[in-house]
Structure 1
Amino acid sequence: MRTIRSQLLLGLVGGTLACTVLAGGAIYFKVLEESNELFDYQLRQMATTLPTTQAASPARRQHGDPEEEVVIQVWDRNGRLKYISTAEHGLPAAARPGYSTLAGGDDRWRVYLAEREGDRVQVAQSVSAREELAARLALRSLLPFLAMLPILGVLIYAVVGRSLKPLNRLAQALGRRSPSDLQPLAERDQPPELKPVVAAMDDLLLRLDHALHSQRAFVADAAHELRSPLTALQLQLQLAERATDGAQRAVAFTKLHQRLDRAIRLVQQLLTAARQEGGTADAAPAPVDLLELARACIGERYDQASARRIDLGIVESETDPGGPSLSGNADSLHILIGNLLDNALRYTPSGGRVDVTVAHTGQEVLLQVADDGIGIPPAERERVFDRFYRGAGHAEWGSGLGLSIVRSVANAHGATVTLGDGPTGRGLLVTVRFRISGTLVR
């Protein structure tokens, strides 16, 4: 691909040359028009003022000056040619008096025929001679422009190079940056044309700095959170190795499996959170049937709920039985619903109830998950969306990532997540509101 300098140079010089050629053509036709009018006037003057009674010897044609490229012919009233200015060209008489164009020899002739005292006087001039004169005049007019083209090319090259220096300085400034130096660029000394580019780069650097900071914080938190379950897993393995009988060994291995399951779930949650926050789960939006997706998530957890005698089901909408379809990422929404159901099942006591509702209100699409578990105190309902935050007094083990992942997926779909009391006044009600604008594809 050509450089900007070469593109500008070729474009400007080529455009100037094209304009010069067009101007030359316009000048040529304008000069030809003006010269034709002038030469026609001269032909008429000569035909009406030349003496017809004076005999003259044939004159030799003068080459080089179109004004002298003239053939004069005189016929008497009997049609006998009585005078011709040059024997080199003999033209027939025009059909009628006035201006006309005749063909003679290898050229065309512009003639004027005048009738005077019974004689006919015809004055002719070569059309090619007129065109040659117009071309010479047009070329002379364009010679200064053609001579200036090399100088213009040098000037354009120098001016373009000088104009591109701020862009080169900007590239050098970016090239000197390190991954840890993401401060905004100096927009003050930039030309107006580059300020939008610098502003866009500053915005990109700011978002990149925020993403790197979030990634570093996530890695640090993840390392801290993984240390405890891995240490507990190692200790439980040591206890299993030290067991003296089969019963102790069976209990130790049962607890070892439990801790291993917790560690696996924590790693899975960490990977899911990293994928959602890093944007790697982004995909082209597609229609998603939210009701069918909720039913699928409930089906995946039906055995788990049955084992704890928890009534897990979906509340059907009588006014909108088909369920709304959203434009979004089905995998991400599956993760959102799955995390809400996992949290509800984990903190709902045996014999409790978990209900899922999907409804279209006309202005938004609602996804609600309600349980009658221990709930979340109002003072902690905002903090539980932070990564690795677990409220005090919870006997159930958790990673503290579920609601953080839910909010991340919701934000990616332009939705909001709110927490409230359950329908019976106890437990928790999680409401995810999807705006219809840009998401509903019914």
Structure 2
Amino acid sequence: MRPLDRLHSIRTKLGLLIAVTVALTAVVSVVATERGVSPWVTVPVAVVVALAVTQVLARGMTSPLREMTAAARRMATGDYSQQVTATSQDEVGELARTFNAMAADLALVDRQRRDLVANVSHELRTPVSALRALLENLVDGVVRPDAERLQVALTQTERLGRLVTDLLDLSRLDAGLSQLNPSRLAVRPFLQDAVKEARLAEHPVRYAVEVDPFDLVVVADRARLHQLLANLLDNAGRHSPVGGTVRARAYRGNGGMILEVADQGPGIAPEEREQVFERFTTGDSSAESGTGLGLAIARWVTDLHSGSIEVVDRPRGCLIRARIPLTQEVTA
């Protein structure tokens, strides 16, 4: 029971509480005096009645504060699940709603931290275990250091390198050290070079490049844009079926260059299309889904270019569309 919850100001509530208490005390005193009750009895009765009414009226004013105190103690132990009742419309209710939002944000950060440890540990364990097994076999003379086995070692080392690079990029983003170095960029040869590098990953897919117009030029940071495209191509290659086609398409539109990468994989569920751009979030739980850093970096690159990125609805596969403005300035 919170009769004062509809009032929008704590000062109004306090004023009303005082007015009701004073009025009730006066009424009790007048009635008792008219009936000849002794003042020694009237005063204690009036005080008790006033305190009882105050407890009822003030409940909604103080209970969120008590709940926040209890929730803060639980948060100190790592439990962010408790929510504070926020039915009041005054400043205390607003504080309770803000507290709930803060608890949800802290819970998300804690979950992301746990996911980071789990995902990065998995990503590190796989290539390290493969390298260790290969090196042990080489040292023991079980296998010979031929080209095939050295290529396996190189592939696992490159995988470790990509993970470290992604983590360093995100560290720079958090530190605010990232900036753009824009220059004129011919899009067709840029896409073709990116596809050539994507083929080195040896995903069992075909790649197709489309650029319209043929001589499309954009002013952008080549290195950052390469990060975006490389991550999109890698994701598409890993999630496409054997023999599938990954299409990289660039064209002019909406005041900028539209860059699309499409695959023929299972796609991304509509409810997950915004979350996949968050750090350490993946579109599926398979071992091949990676750490969830690639799309986070892709969105970071588009944000640096004052652009945007989204997952586009399509009947089959996944289509990710990034918009890069045609004119850029150095952005800190």
How high is the TM-score relative to the length of structure 1?
Answer: 0.42
Structure 2 residue identity aligned to 1:372: Q
Checking the alignment, whether the CA contact within 8 Å between 2:258 and 2:322 is kept in structure 1 is yes
> Given that residues 311 and 352 in structure 1 are in contact (C-alpha distance below 8 angstroms), is that contact kept between their aligned partners in structure 2?
yes
Tell me the residue number matched to 1:246: 142
8 Å contact from structure 2 (residues 188, 214) kept in 1: no
Residue 407 of structure 1 aligns to a residue whose secondary structure is helix
8 Å contact kept, 2:277–2:299: yes
Q: The residue matched to 1:331 in structure 2 has which SS? A: helix
Instruction: For residue 348 of structure 1, report the CA deviation from its aligned partner.
Output: 1.1
Shift of 1:255: 8.1
The equivalent residue for 1:366 is 258
Contact 2:180–2:304 (CA under 8 A) maintained in structure 1: no
**Aligned counterpart, 1:430:** 320
* Bigger radius of gyration among the two: 1
| Count of aligned positions | 218
Residue 274 of structure 1 aligns to a residue whose secondary structure is: helix
8 Å contact 1:277–1:408 — kept in the other structure?
no
Render the CA deviation track for 1:283-310: whole Å, top value 9, x for unaligned: 4433233333222211222344xx5452
Structure with the largest fraction of helix: 2
Cα distance between partner residues in 1 of 2:323 and 2:125: 40
Residue aligning to 1:378 = 270
Question: In the TM superposition, what is the alpha-carbon distance from 1:377 to its structure 2 partner?
Answer: 1.1
Matches of residues 168-179 of structure 1 in structure 2 within 5 Å?
none
Report whether the alignment pairs 1:227 with 2:121: yes
* Aligned equivalents of 1:291, 1:235: Cα separation in 2: 39
SS, match of residue 426 in structure 1: coil
Counterpart of 1:404 (choices 296, 306, 313) is 296
Residues 323, 221 of structure 1: CA spacing in aligned structure 2 closer, same or farther, 3 A cutoff?
same
2:314 corresponds to 1:314: no
Q: What amino acid is aligned across from residue 408 of structure 1 in structure 2? A: W
Task: Give the secondary-structure state (helix, strand or coil) at the position aligned to 1:433.
Answer: strand
Distance in 1 between residues matched to 2:269 and 2:210, nearest whole Å: 26
In structure 2, C-alpha distance between the alignment counterparts of 1:394 and 1:232, rounded to whole Å: 14
Rounded to whole Å, the distance in 2 between the matches of 1:253 and 1:434 is: 40
Counterpart-to-counterpart distance in 1, 2:154 and 2:200: 20
Q: Matched residues in 2 for 1:420 and 1:334: separation?
A: 21
- How far residue 228 of structure 1 moved from its aligned partner, in angstroms, is 3.6
Alignment map for 1:291-330 (pairs within 5 Å)? 291-304=188-201, 307-317=202-212, 320-326=213-219, 328-330=220-222
The 8 Å contact of residues 269 and 399 in structure 1, kept in 2 or not, is answered as no
Structure 1 distance, partners of 2:253, 2:245, is 24
Judged with a 3 Å threshold, the aligned counterparts in structure 2 of structure 1 residues 232 and 292 are, in CA distance, closer, same or farther, namely closer
| Structure 1 residue aligned with 2:163 | 266
TM-superposed CA distance for 1:368, in Å, is 0.8
For the Cα contact (< 8 Å) 1:222–1:270, is it kept in 2? no
Find the partner of 2:311 among 419, 432, 439.
419
Aligned-residue offset at 1:259: 5.4
Q: Residue deviations 1:398-431, cap 9 Å, x none?
A: 1210000000010011111010244xx2111111
* Percent identity of equivalent pairs: 28
Task: Output the CA distance in 2 between the equivalents of 1:417 and 1:362.
Answer: 13
Amino acid at match of 1:427: G
Question: 1:146-161 counterparts in 2 under 5 A?
Answer: none
Instruction: Give 1:362 deviation, angstroms.
Output: 5.6
Aligned partners of 2:308 and 2:323 also within 8 Å: yes
Task: Report the Cα distance in structure 2 between the residues aligned to 1:290 and 1:268, rounded to whole angstroms.
Answer: 24
Report the Cα distance in structure 1 between the residues aligned to 2:156 and 2:180, rounded to whole angstroms: 35
2:188 and 2:211 in contact (8 A); partners too: no
User: How big is each residue's C-alpha offset from its partner over 1:134-153, in whole Å with a ceiling of 9 and x where there is no partner?
Assistant: xxxxxxxxxxxxxxxxxxxx
Compute the displacement of 1:394 (Å): 3.1
Map of 1:89-108 to 2, 5 A cutoff? none
Q: CA RMSD in A?
A: 3.9
Structure 2 CA distance, aligned partners of 1:428 and 1:435?
23
- In 1, Cα distance between the equivalents of 2:130 and 2:183? 46
| 3-state SS, counterpart of residue 396 of structure 1 | helix
Cα 1:410/1:315, change in 2 over 3 Å: same
Cα–Cα, structure 1 residues 277 and 335, in superposed 2: closer, same or farther, change >3 Å? Answer: farther
1:325 Cα deviation from its structure 2 partner: 1.9
What residue number does 2:53 align with?
none
Q: Which amino acid aligns with 1:431?
A: R
Aligned-pair CA distance for 1:258: 6.4
Q: In 2, are the aligned partners of 1:340 and 1:369 still within 8 Å (CA)?
A: yes
**Deviations for 1:120-174, whole angstroms, at most 9, x for unmatched residues?**
xxxxxxxxxxxxxxxxxxxxxxxxxxxxxxxxxxxxxxxxxxxxxxxxxxxxxxx
Supply the AA of the counterpart residue of 1:310.
V
Q: Does structure 2 retain, via aligned residues, the 8 Å contact 1:358–1:365?
A: yes
Correspondence for 1:46: none
CA positional deviation for 1:347: 1.0
Q: 1:331 aligns with which of 223, 227, 251?
A: 223
Deviation at 1:232, TM superposition (A): 5.2
Question: CA shift at 1:262, angstroms?
Answer: 3.6
- Indicate the structure whose relative CO is greater, using CA pairs within 8 Å and at least 6 residues apart: 2
1:247-292 residue CA offsets vs partner (Å, 9 max, x unmatched): 7x99999987765554333212212333345443414433233333
Residues 87-125 of structure 1 show CA distances to partners (whole Å, capped at 9, x for unaligned) of xxxxxxxxxxxxxxxxxxxxxxxxxxxxxxxxxxxxxxx
1:373 partner amino acid? G
- SS state at 2:310 partner: strand
